[in-house]
Each structure stands twice: as C-alpha cells, then as structure tokens.
Amino acid sequence: MKITRIKDDNSFQFENVEIRTPLLKDLQEVGKVVSVETNQIEFYARLISRVCTFDGQKQPPEEIAEMNLADFFELAQELGECGLQTLGNELSTSQNMET
C-alpha cells in the first residue's frame, strides 16, 4: 500500500496564534450554541474562535473548520491545559452524582 500526502492549499493558513485565557463567559457563550458533551469538536472550534487571534485577526468558527487537524488539535490541547479538561471532568462527575 502506498500513501501519498497532498498539501491542501485551501486550508486555513496562519503564522502566529495568540491565545488568551478563557473566561467563564466564553464557556457560557459557547455552551449556548453547542454542548461539550454532545460535540467536542464544534465546542472547541467555537471556543478557539472566541479566545484566539490568528495573525492578529479573530476568525469565525467556519474558518476554524478549515484548519488542518494537527493545528486544531494542538490548539485544543493548549486550551485543555488552561483547565478545561479538569472542568469537564468535574462537571461530568457532578452530573452523574445528581442522577
């Protein structure tokens, strides 16, 4: 089997990304549109759209969707290191205790 990687020149390209620390209101606003429990990919795309600037510009979630997967997962991991993974685990545990 031969696998050939083809660079997609149509993907969202950028040189620099700045990430600000997410605020509670960021999670609240994203949570109004999509739940992290039901669609983690869309949740992180919308959160990235809110807290990141790409080459000095904010980008809508639709543009984030055009990002290559390696960059997307790197940014999502970076956001997870801001405490989102811990928050998600705690919320999940507290919801399970209520049922």
Q: What is the pTM of this model?
A: 0.75
Q: How far is CA 80 from its chain centroid?
A: 9
Are residues 51 and 79 in contact, defined by beta-carbon separation less than 8 angstroms?
yes
Residue spans of beta strands (DSSP E) within 1-99? 17-19, 52-54
User: Where along the chain do its domains lie?
Assistant: 17-88
State mean pLDDT over 60-87.
83
Task: Output the CA–CA distances (angstroms, integers) from residue 22 to 41, 69, 95, 98, in the order listed.
Answer: 17, 21, 22, 27
pLDDT at position 94 is 47
Q: Is the pLDDT of residue 95 over 70?
A: no
